[in-house]
Amino acid sequence: MNTHYLTSSHTNPQFYIFTQLFEARHTGGPPFDLSSNWTSIQEESWLDFWQREGHQLLEEKWNKRFPEFKEIVDVRDEAERVYWQALWEEHVKDLGARFWHIFSCAFENYQHELLKSFGSISTEDLEEIEQELEQLDVSGNQPRYKRKKKIDAKEPYLTANDDPEDIEEEEQRRLLGLPAAFGAQASHFIRRKPKAESVVEQYFSSYGDSDNMTSEEEPEPLHGVQSGFIKKKKPKKKKPNPSVDQMPDFMKENKSKLFKYWLKRFSLFSRFDMGIRLDRESWFSVTPEKIAKQTARRVACDVILDAFCGCGGNAIQFALTCGRVIAVDIDAEKLAMAKHNATIYGVADKIEFIHADFLQFAPSTRLRPDVVFFSPPWGGPSYQKLATFDIEESLLPVGASHLMQLGRRLADNVSFFLPRNASMSQVIALSGAGQQCEVEHNYLDTRLVALTAYFGSGLIKTQPCAAEGEVNTSENGVD
């Protein structure tokens, strides 16, 4: 089976969410049953996405396409209203089809990744998925222009020594790039030998005998074409690009591998060009803004504790949905950057920044937040090379189970932001035997970026309990 990806936008990728509700099994219990109603999941997920973001997307594209629409909105007569209404309906139809195409690819990737995370992909599963999506066109945008046909070296061409009178009319048209004939194609032109008297000789004869000319009496070239060479234009000097000049030095030193992170800067912080500060590690670990916004909507409460706030990607969004944010980090420099970034978003007054090691802070603090959020270090970009990311061995500074114990000391509701290849069985086991957790697969365009897991009755969406050995499917997307 092919996993389908489309080219992603660096600045404003489209965000899709697919969610499943799982119940942790007792040791030695039956395996998870993933025979979900995928068609129903896809339809519900699409409706939730379109209701949440569709209207805004349509308006943004419409305003770019017809900027004059706002100016004439109050002076339109009935005929103009009908005209614009027809344009709008066509606009909605075209864009809806475009976003559905991207969404379908993302959903196929989600289905594939979810089955793979349990190690339960069988030949029958792959054949069924392939049959459902074999008609899906994922070729992307076609080239706007066709490449020009290369000139054949054997093809005849007209030179300065060829007399146009010796060439048939059809050949003259063809050599000048004009239609050769309105009927049958003319036969290939055979290059004729030049006349005895060349163009240069004709030029000399007009001044007399060429033998009587001295070296100082060089004739001027006829119309400047005697050399037979065409001077190439010098390439224009590239203008300095201010955005690239602002690139961190460590990226400039290894531009071939790290330039892609620089291109994604506005997907990390939409206000990046207003002075956002990031250290080297944060470029690889900060949560993309659209995912941070989604998580902030889900964990909205009075008080939330961000245990590893870093440069503030999540804390800033929490401050927009929660009454108070406690941001903890062991790195003083990261904490200072987080405070600076929060000021740019105008929410620094709602965040309390604490310089501390959470492993020491949690057992001693008297704070009792409503939600504890974990986005612990994943160990750098190398996590992508692992087939399955072990959240007990590979997370820093300690395993997920230890973090869960510390989090549950402070609050009943806990959320984890984890790598996309995290072991799903380990994630579900964090909830405890017989308890439920909800796992979101976060996609930017068609690429799975990360997982967000929610534990505790205050975070999980209300749904009927899952039967033993079954998996309940939640309503996909967000309200």
- The structural domains of the chain, with segments of one domain joined by +, span 34-133, 256-455
- Report whether CATH 3.40.50.970 matches the domain 256-455: no
8 Å CB contact between 460 and 22: no
- DSSP assignment of 207-252 equals TS-GGG--TT-PPPPGGG-TT---PPPPPPPPPP-HHHHTS-HHHH
Q: What pLDDT does residue 399 have?
A: 92
3 state SS of 18: strand
DSSP state of 472: B
pLDDT at 21: 84
d(CA 290, CA 444): 9
Ranges of residues in the chain with a pLDDT under 50 are 1, 121-127, 129-162, 164, 166, 182-191, 193, 195-215, 224, 463-479
CA-CA distance, 98 to 18, in Å (whole number)?
19
Query: Residue 218: what pLDDT?
Result: 52
pLDDT of residue 248: 86
Cα maximum dimension of the chain: 111
Q: What is the dihedral of CA 257, 263, 264, 268, to 10 degrees?
A: 120
The per-residue pLDDT for range 267-312, each reduced to its tens digit, is 899 999 999 999 998 998 899 999 999 999 999 999 999 999 999 9
Reduce the DSSP state of residue 372 to 3 states and report it: strand
The per-residue DSSP string of 444-466 comes to: ETTEEEEEEEEESTTTSPP-PPP
H or E segment to which residue 339 belongs: helix 332-344
Calpha distance 396→289 (Å, rounded): 23
pLDDT at res. 357: 94
Residues 108, 111: Cα–Cα separation, whole Å: 5
Q: DSSP letter string over 381-419?
A: GGGGG-SSB-TTTSSSSS-HHHHHHHHHHH-SEEEEEEE
- Model pLDDT, residue 148: 45
What are the tokens at 36? 């979900």
Cα 192 → chain centroid: 58
The torsion defined by the Cα of 394, 26, 450 and 142, in degrees rounded to 10, comes to 120
Residue 365 confidence (pLDDT):
92
Q: Distance (Å, rounded) from C-alpha 162 to C-alpha 198? A: 9
CA distance 156 to 150: 14
Cα angle: 258, vertex 263, 269; to 5 degrees: 115
* Cβ partners under 8 Å of residue 453, min gap 6: 415, 416, 418, 427, 430, 437, 438, 439, 440
C-alpha span between 156 and 190 (Å, rounded): 7
